[in-house]
Structure 1
Amino acid sequence: MENQLVPTAWDRVRQCRSNGGLGIRDLAVRNICLLLKLLHRLHVGEQSSWAAWVRQHTCLATLTGDLQGSHWESLRSLLPLYQAITTVTVGDGQATSFWHDVWLNDECLSDRFPALHSHCKRGDKSVAATLSDGLRNQLVSRLTAEAAEELAALENILSDVALSDARDTRHSPFADADGKLHTADLYDHL
């Protein structure tokens, strides 16, 4: 008799024991959690030699730079999820994505101003680069009426933004007071 795979109800196997499951962790979700923890270490300013080296070779706001390989692609692919579970108190604006991080109020600017974001030539600039170069330089020359209204509203908000010499600070409901990301809490939500 040949070895045959037995169909398994993996959803039930992965349920916690109190719910009648076996409590087996989903390794794909666990891997995502650990990669998010690695991204968090880069962004919170951990003083490891690896983190310092990465910061020299890549833009933390977008994870673009001269780092290549499938592991970097994995980290880049998780950046939107990481941005969704964190907020930023902007310091120098170097490590914060202008459009995709939550740094003004409670939503990212691409969600708050969708018409304006659709007129953006490059949506991968940091807060520092955008404020330095000017928001209008990122946009196509002709805006729709809705995008023009959103631009006026955003420029009004940006007039109150002042960068400092401090590094950007990341916050997450999945991090403790020391800023360390807890993957167990994150796993339960994914």
Structure 2
Amino acid sequence: MPFTYLGLPLGTTKPTVLDMAPMVCKAERRITAAMSLMSYAGKLALVNSLITALAIYPMGTLKLPPKIIEQLNKIRRYCLWKKKTEDAEKCTPLAAWDMICRPKKCGGLGVLNLRIQNEALLLKMLRKFYNHHDIPWVNLIWHSYYNGLVPHAAKPSGSFRWKDLIKLMPTYRGVTTVRVNSGDTALFWKDMWNNSIYTTSFPRAFSFAANEDISVQQFLATMDLAATFRLPLSMQAQDELRQIQREVSHFTLDGSKDQWICTWGAQIFKTSAYYTFVFRDVQAHEGFRWLWKAKSIPKIKVFGWFLLSDRLNTCNMLNR
């Protein structure tokens, strides 16, 4: 049975939706009757500064259940679109929620996507783990589960919190590249190192690999070809093997810790950079960037966003 410590449910079992319900109730209490009298700009500021901010603290430690994220999104939608009419209060959205949650420069209103933000905050913990930061929990996990093993090639083990982070390892590896020093934390074939992923760069040689999850350290230390490949090799595989040997011939392992660096060029992993990276393929008109940089009050900017997005209640839109 989990108990509350520093505002978070703490226990040996994974928190249920019921354990996280107090956070949802706290967000519901932030909704006031005065919201129906506020402008969309005021509601947007309220959603970001009050309701969304409540979820940031637990998301930095826990992976929120999908139902909790759904309930928080429901509260945020109600807060943003709530409107008082002569008949009753209505909540009619003028734009899709996915569109609202895009960054402002990507054509959205800048409301945080809680699922992506939750991943970004948890990936910061993986950055500390893979880069061997001198933190007690990092040292404990390395010595308990991965002594001489590559973490993402080993079987899942540990508490439910760590297993949630294990599920994010493919995501972290997809946005980072390894600067090999010792080679004991990176896979030779499947990780991005030496500016390429050898699985895709040398597919024929990889098809003859005896151990697909061999580390860079083990591969470079092995002198016996039969220990790393299933012989005999085809002619194409031999050509790729010779190319691999030329590429790794200059590598010398100095024994220091490997460095995992973000693919967007930053040395330090930032949640804001990852959040922007997720929306890198979303194309938006340049007018949205000009709109949010304009020196005008937020009310005018939000009205301009509705105008550029064709989301105003005009006669043409109402007739659709």
Question: TM-score range, shorter-chain basis?
Answer: 0.7 to 0.9
Per mean C-alpha deviation after superposition, the further-off stretch among 141-150 and 56-65 is 56-65
Match of 1:122 in 2: 211
Contact 2:103-2:276 within 8 A present in 1 as well = no
Distance 1:157 1:17 in 2: 43
Larger radius of gyration: 2
Question: What are the residue-to-residue correspondences of 1:30-179 with 2, within 5 Å?
Answer: 30-56=117-143, 57-58=145-146, 59-60=149-150, 62=152, 64=154, 67-68=157-158, 70-104=160-194, 106-134=195-223, 136=225, 137-173=227-263, 179=267
Structure 1: state its 5+ residue gaps.
none
What is the identity, as a one-letter code, of the residue corresponding to 1:75?
A: L
Contact 2:202-2:240 within 8 A present in 1 as well = yes
Sort the Cα spacing of 1:175 and 1:152 in 2 relative to 1 into closer, same or farther, 3 A: closer
Structure 2: state its 5+ residue gaps.
1-90, 279-320
Distance 1:87 1:49 in 2: 25
Contact 2:157-2:163 within 8 A present in 1 as well = no
RMSD: 2.8
Contact 2:177-2:263 within 8 A present in 1 as well = no
Higher relative contact order (CA 8 A, sep 6+): 1
- TM-score, scaled relative to structure 2: 0.50
Sort the Cα spacing of 1:120 and 1:20 in 2 relative to 1 into closer, same or farther, 3 A: closer
What SS class does the counterpart of residue 168 from structure 2 fall into?
helix
Greater helix fraction, Structure 1 or Structure 2: 2
Sort the Cα spacing of 1:69 and 1:118 in 2 relative to 1 into closer, same or farther, 3 A: farther
Distance 1:130 1:145 in 2: 21
Q: Which contiguous aligned blocks of 4+ residues in structure 1 show a shift greater than 6 angstroms?
A: 5-8
Following superposition, the deviation at residue 14 of structure 1 comes to: 0.9
Distance 1:86 1:19 in 2: 23
Contact 2:103-2:109 within 8 A present in 1 as well = yes
Distance 2:199 2:106 in 1: 39
Contact 2:182-2:258 within 8 A present in 1 as well = yes
- TM-score, scaled relative to structure 1: 0.79
Of 14, 23, 29, the residue aligned with 2:116 is: 29
What SS class does the counterpart of residue 187 from structure 2 fall into?
coil
Distance 1:175 1:154 in 2: 25
Following superposition, the deviation at residue 81 of structure 1 comes to: 2.8
What is the identity, as a one-letter code, of the residue corresponding to 1:81?
A: T
